[in-house]
């Protein structure tokens, strides 16, 4: 059988962090930094994975655990009795996993798409999303909205609600810029902290999530109408709510307020769960000098791409 090549974009959260887990909408977009997965069939039942996180060898019918490849191995387990034989997986990324950008979601979607193709399944985007989200939930004890998966799989900018499920493609965005705080707290750890804080003030946190939902709905309207000034204003609003939630910190605040001083920047907020990770700005000002890494990004129209060699 021929090689299967899958290319998946990374993603960034535009709005809806945390509140998406409480029934509100989220906005995200695919970016022009991609993860590539190549599956090469083998004649026996062995499995090997060559990635920047770890190299791995095992038997398809008795898969060993490897914490660094938890999403990959969970996906392989899903298809172990469906694929015709063993295989080699090569996984390469155009960006570092340390900066987030939905790397875990992109890897998961890429491996699931490759294995589904190897198993001979006709896998549309909705099915790919369902299977990939199942893998994420298995690894993360049921946690994770799937917003980053939606963006990576469908491409472009998207609006998403978990239940009842709504997925809608949005207009392209103008120029954006992204700054990395230099560290990243794992999303499940951030969620646990927020959950703990929320237990002390459940009514207040419920209202914060509702406000986040209203701001996100207004941001979707602004994007649909290409009203970038309003979008920037709403991004600043949402950042204030992230701060109230307890997921902003000194480094993030420094980036946010430094960028807001520029007339070229219309809005700034955390992109992701917070306590590190990235800060997203609507606009770009090359004259700004910050002691933080700027990651060049643009919105990618293309989602998952599967090719056969």
Residue 131: which of 148, 111, 155 has the closest Cα?
A: 111
Mean pLDDT on 190-211: 94
Domains and their CATH numbers in the chain? 4-171+300-308 (3.30.230.10), 176-295 (3.30.70.890)
Distance CA 153, CA 220 (A): 20
Q: What is the pLDDT of residue 1?
A: 67
SS3 (DSSP) at 43: coil
For residue 182, give the nearest of 123, 241, 106, 98 by alpha carbon: 98
What's the token pair of residue 223? Answer: 């994007």
Token readout for 245 is 């939630």
> What one-character-per-residue DSSP string does 83-118 give?
SSS-EEEEEEESS-GGG-TTHHHHHHHHHHHHHHHH
- Output the CA–CA distances (angstroms, integers) from residue 233 to 10, 29, 154, 238, in the order listed: 26, 19, 27, 9
pTM: 0.92
Q: Evaluate if residue 99 carries a pLDDT over 90.
A: no
CA distance 112 to 7: 12
Q: What is the pLDDT of residues 291-308, one digit of tens each?
A: 999 999 999 999 999 999
pLDDT at site 227? 97
CA distance 130 to 213: 24
Mean pLDDT across the chain, nearest whole number? 94
Write the DSSP assignment of 105-163 as a string of letters. HHHHHHHHHHHHHHTT----HHHHHHHHHHHHHHHTTT----HHHHHHHH-SEEEEETT
Phi and psi angles of residue 286, each rounded to the nearest 5 degrees, phi first? -60, -20
DSSP string, 241-296: HHHHHT---HHHHHHHHHHHTSTT--EEEEESSSSEEEEEEES--TT---SSEEE-
**pLDDT digit string, tens, across residues 110-152:** 999 999 999 999 879 999 999 999 999 999 888 889 999 999 9
Q: Is the pLDDT of residue 101 over 90?
A: no
């Amino acid at each position: 059988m021929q090689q299967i090549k899958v290319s998946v974009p990374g993603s960034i959260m535009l709005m809806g962090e945390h509140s998406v887990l409480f029934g509100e909408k989220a906005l995200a977009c695919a970016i022009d930094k991609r993860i590539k997965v190549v599956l090469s069939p083998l004649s026996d039942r062995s499995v090997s994975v060559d990635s920047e996180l770890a190299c791995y060898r095992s038997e398809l019918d008795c898969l060993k655990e490897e914490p660094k490849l938890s999403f990959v191995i969970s996906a392989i387990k899903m298809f172990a009795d469906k694929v015709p034989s063993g295989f080699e997986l090569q996984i390469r990324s155009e960006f570092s996993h340390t900066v987030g950008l939905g790397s875990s979601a992109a890897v998961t979607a890429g491996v699931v798409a490759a294995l589904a193709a190897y198993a001979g399944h006709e896998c549309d985007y909705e099915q790919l999303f369902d299977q990939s989200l199942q893998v994420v939930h298995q690894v993360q004890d049921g946690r994770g909205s799937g917003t980053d998966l939606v963006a990576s799989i469908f491409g472009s900018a998207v609006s998403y609600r978990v239940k009842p499920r709504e997925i809608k493609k949005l207009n392209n965005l103008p120029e954006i810029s992204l700054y990395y705080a230099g560290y990243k707290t794992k999303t499940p750890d951030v969620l646990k902290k927020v959950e703990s804080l929320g237990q002390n003030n459940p009514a207040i946190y419920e209202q914060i999530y509702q406000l986040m939902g209203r701001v996100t709905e207004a941001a979707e309207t602004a994007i649909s109408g290409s009203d970038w000034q309003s979008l920037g204003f709403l991004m600043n609003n949402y950042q204030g709510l992230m701060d109230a939630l307890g997921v902003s910190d000194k480094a993030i605040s420094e980036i946010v307020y430094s960028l807001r001083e520029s007339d070229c920047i219309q809005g700034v907020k955390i992109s992701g769960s917070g306590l590190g990770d990235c800060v997203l700005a609507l606009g770009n000002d090359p004259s700004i000098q910050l002691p933080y890494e700027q990651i060049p990004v643009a919105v990618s129209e293309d989602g998952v791409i599967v090719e056969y060699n």
